[in-house]
Amino acid sequence: MARRYLPIAAFAGLIVAIQLATLFSGTAYYLTQLTMTAYYSLVIVGLCMLIGYAGQISLGHAGFFAIGGYVTAFLTTCNLNLHPGVIVSLLGKSGALVARPDAYGGSLLTVHPWLACAAAILLTVVIAYLVGGPVLKLKGHYLAMATLGFGIIVYRMVLGTEFLGAADGITVNALAPGWFKTAQNAVLYEDPDWVAGVVARIPAGRTGERGDLDGALIFLASEAASYVTGQLLFVDGGFSTGAMSAMPRRAAPEVPTPGLP
C-alpha cells in the first residue's frame, strides 16, 4: 500500500526542493518557467486521458483552461482597496487577502494566490460537472461539436467581459525602444561619429536615456489603456519615421592576413 503512494511523495518532494533551490539561488525566472510547463502539462494530460484512453474527441479544453486562468488572474490582480466593504473586511481578517506593493510603489490588496488557485480549480470543476453531465452522453462527432460550442461560449464571454481586461480580454501590447545605450551596444557609443550620425536621424535630437520608457510603461499598465491592445508602441524619439537604410555603420576593422607583411 505504501509503495503505491511512494511516487506521489517523491514528486511532491521534488517540487518542494525545486522551489527552495530557486528561492535561495535567486533564480525565480526558472521557477516561473517550470510553473508554466506544469499547468500546460495538465492540459496535455487531460487530452491524453480523454482522446488517447477514452477515444473521445474534445475541443473544449481551452475553455476550461481559460476559466482557471482568468479567474486566477482576476483574483490576484484586482485591487480590493478600491472596493471596501464588509466582505473585504471579513476576508482580510481571515487571512484570505494579501497586501503587496505594485510595480509603481502603490499598494495592492488582492486575494492570496493559493486561495485564488483553489477558487479557480473549484469553479472549473463545478462548471465541468454541470457541462459534462449532458455532454458526455454524446459520442463521436456530436461530442466534438458540443465541446467546440462550449469553447466558443467561453471565448465570447471572456471577449465581452470588461472586468477581465476590456473588450479583448487581458490586453497584450509591446514597446519598441529606439537607440538606448546598453551593455550589448556600448561599443558603438565609443565612436563619436557613429553617435552623431544616429542622433542626426532622431527628430528628438538625442538617444534614449534612463526613464524614457517609464511613461509608456505606466500608460500601458494603467486603466487609461484598457481599450488598447495588440499594439506596438515605438519609443524611439521618432527614429522609426526616418530611413532605416541610412543608419550609419561602423567600418569593419582591418584584420591582417597571416603570412603577409
Cα-only R_g, the chain: 26
Task: Delimit the domains of the chain by residue range.
Answer: 56-164, 174-246
How far is Cα 198 from Cα 193, in angstroms, rounded to an integer? Answer: 9
* N- to C-terminal Cα separation, the chain: 81
Q: Which of these ranges, 55-59, 128-132, 145-149, 194-198, has the smallest mean pLDDT?
A: 55-59
> Residue 177's beta-bridge partner residues?
235
State pLDDT tens for residues 141-176: 888 888 888 888 888 887 777 666 555 456 778 888
Q: How much is the average pLDDT of 116-134? A: 89
How high is the mean pLDDT of the chain? 80
State pLDDT tens for residues 48-102: 887 888 777 778 888 888 888 888 888 888 888 878 888 888 888 888 888 887 7
How far is Cα 47 from Cα 111, in angstroms, rounded to an integer? Answer: 30
Q: What is the band of 123 on the pLDDT scale with cuts at 50, 70, 90? A: very high
Q: What is the H or E stretch that residue 114 is in?
A: helix 113-135
Three cell numbers at 123? 469553479
